[in-house]
Amino acid sequence: MEKKKVFISGGAGFIGSFLCGHYLGKGCDVWCMDNLITGSMNNISAHLDNPGFHFLKEDVVCLDPEKLPGDFGYVFHLASPASPPDYFMYPMETLRVNSQGTEKCLMLALRCKAKFLYTSTSEVYGDPLIPVQNEEYWGNVNPIGVRSVYDEGKRYGEAVVMAYNRKYGLDTHLVRIFNTYGPRMRLKDGRVVPNFIYQALSGRPFTIYGDGMQTRSFCYVEDLLKGLTLLVEKDYHFPVNLGNPGEFTIMELAGLVDKIFGRKSGIKHMPALEDDPKRRKPDISRAKHLLGWQPEIPLEEGLRRTIDYFMAGFMKPGSGEIT
């Protein structure tokens, strides 16, 4: 790969930091922008001494494309709160980063004639009325519900990306990410995998909202990263699902975490969350055909890797306390 400049918004986040590492490993100059409301300097600490890495602590909504270099080869827009507690806490920030922030990144890509990739989400399908979600499904979204700041923010983001592609011929790419997990997630970010790991580490029962029969499809971050970097090289501009088609109930996930820890945590049921999707299962036929991509890491193996990461980094030696 020829040396290129890569711009990544949300680059200090969970997925963004892995993307930074990938392109640094390819010899690229990486410009990472993050306002750190959900990202963390810990995620990019290994890159800070790399002369090819440039960190900009800034909100991408305030980005001035004219003040950055004009020779980026890639622009990735990953910035956005992504867990319900985060976008409930930051509703306006979530809407702005997926609307104004998306267009600022598109303006940068257009100025540089760069490849552009926007990370959308399976949440654009809402609470789906079909058991397996393909890219042709328009979704079942409550436009004024509590989750709408994220769901509709991402749907708007997709619309403006397609508008830039059609109006300006910009080389755009859209990824709909299904539940992704792995190291560098925040242990208390509110999503189910880190929630269960935190509760197991601290000896608490698993909190399950509703009856636990709602399903999710869990993709390990390493698999997702391969999909992102393959798609941005393709001459294809419509949405592509990236996720693991293995479908698990939340109760089954709790059982797997218990199995790895070798304990019985118990369950604390809470009322079901408003507009919480009952099923999540991606149709990845398009990714298979277009990219030759499918996830390789089984859920249990990915959970073991993730738990090892949290146990190594979040336990005080000898104290049993979670930092």
Copy the structure tokens of residue 224.
């997702």
What are the angstrom distances between the C-alpha of 224 and each of 49, 178, 230, 264? 26, 9, 10, 31
- Among 209, 210, 243, 268, smallest CA distance to 121 is for 243
Query: CA–CA separation, 53 vs 20, rounded Å?
Result: 8
Question: What does the radius of gyration of the chain's CA atoms come to, in whole angstroms?
Answer: 19
At 236, which amino acid appears?
Answer: Y
Query: CA–CA separation, 235 vs 191, rounded Å?
Result: 33
Query: CA–CA separation, 144 vs 121, rounded Å?
Result: 18
**From start to end of the chain, where are the E strands?**
5-9, 29-33, 53-56, 72-77, 115-121, 172-177, 180-181, 206-209, 215-216, 219-220, 239-242, 248-249, 267-270
Tell me if residue 198 is catalytic: no
- Among 165, 249, 244, 189, smallest CA distance to 215 is for 249
* Of 150, 164, 198, 220, catalytic: 150
Hey, which residues are catalytic here?
A: 150
